[in-house]
Homo-oligomer: A and B are copies of this chain.
Amino acid sequence: MKKIAIGIDIGGTNTLFGLVDNSGECLTKKSLLTSNYDTPEKLIKAIFDGVQEMKDDRNDIEIIGIGVGAPNGNFYNGTIEYAPNLKWKGVINLIQLFRKYFDLPVYVTNDANAAAIGEMTYGVAKGINDFVVVTLGTGLGSGIVSNGKLIYGHDGFAGELGHTIVEENGRDCACGRKGCLETYVSATGIVRTAHILLAKSSKPSIISDEKITAKSIAEAAQKGDSLALEIFDYTAKKLGLSLANLVAITSPKIIVLFGGLSNSGESISEPTQKYMEEYLLQIFKNKIKITQSFFKEGTAAVIGAGSLVWNELKNDETNK
């Protein structure tokens, strides 16, 4: 029997889940529309049914645990707590709900932390004890690893780089404050920057020809559109300064960019590396590499969540 972890990525739009083996291979996966389920239990029931089908398709596997990446997922409590982009409100005890259907250990964390554990276990951060994963999607998440361990902090909520304030009285953020990094550096942030520069600039630009999205800006930048390049440059400068400040705090060996915005060719990582170098304290210059995720989008989040299980089993072994 082959030992297998279930990896689940609960997102605001889609929930992906699949079977992940100990080498980080995603054997099979399925997708559900998160918003189709008006309670988290209904979603978990649907995942249970999906996993049964996956098991029926193969009789050579033994499932050993469940890893869940979810917005505001808390590792210590096994909960989702006040996630602004899910319709289920308050504190959701995921471990309790999963245990109704599965007699397996359940590990919960947020999507960026799951991504970091994925990179550490199978990806570009294998063998690296100090690194950071920055997820660029609708928002900006981060998973920070120091001394070979993920930083969960005293309450399980560490790693909120996207909610560091980079401009006092800056852009309104969904968290209720102003000037958070993710209001500038994210798929939504870059669109806000586009609106500001379109208002300010008299340059003609192809981005105004259709609905402005992070994707349309990235495509315009790749075609050499000058305003789109300016938008990327502004975004990269903000991210570069924040990463230089993060380096001063945790001194990672590599910074991994993961998800949405980061797959827009070289448009964001190259200028971000340039600005980060400009802002870095002397002792850190030319040491820290910004790199792309090892994983292809789509399976990455499922593998990251599955790797939570393998990583916890490894920690248990080490502590024996």
Contact = CB atoms under 8 A, between A and B. Distances in A.
Interface string A176-215: 1100000000000000000000000000000000000000
B168 A251 contact: no
Contacts of A128: 154
Interface stretch (A47-55, A97-105, A242-250, A257-265): A242-250
A238 to B, nearest CB: 10
Given A165-B244, A176-B282, A251 B152 contact: yes
A168 B279 CA distance: 10
A154 B282 contact: no
Interface bin, chain A: 35 or more
Contacts of A157: 251, 283-284
Contacts of A224: none
Copies, count: 2
Contacts of A29: none
Contacts of A131: 154
| Majority secondary structure, A binding face | loop
Contacts of A245: 164-165
Given A245-B165, A249-B160, A147 B149 contact: yes
Contact of A249 (B82, B249, B251, B282): B249
Given A147-B149, A161-B248, A168-B241, A154 B253 contact: yes
A2 interface: no
Give 4 closest A-B pairs by Cβ, nearest first: A153-B251, A154-B253, A158-B251, A164-B245
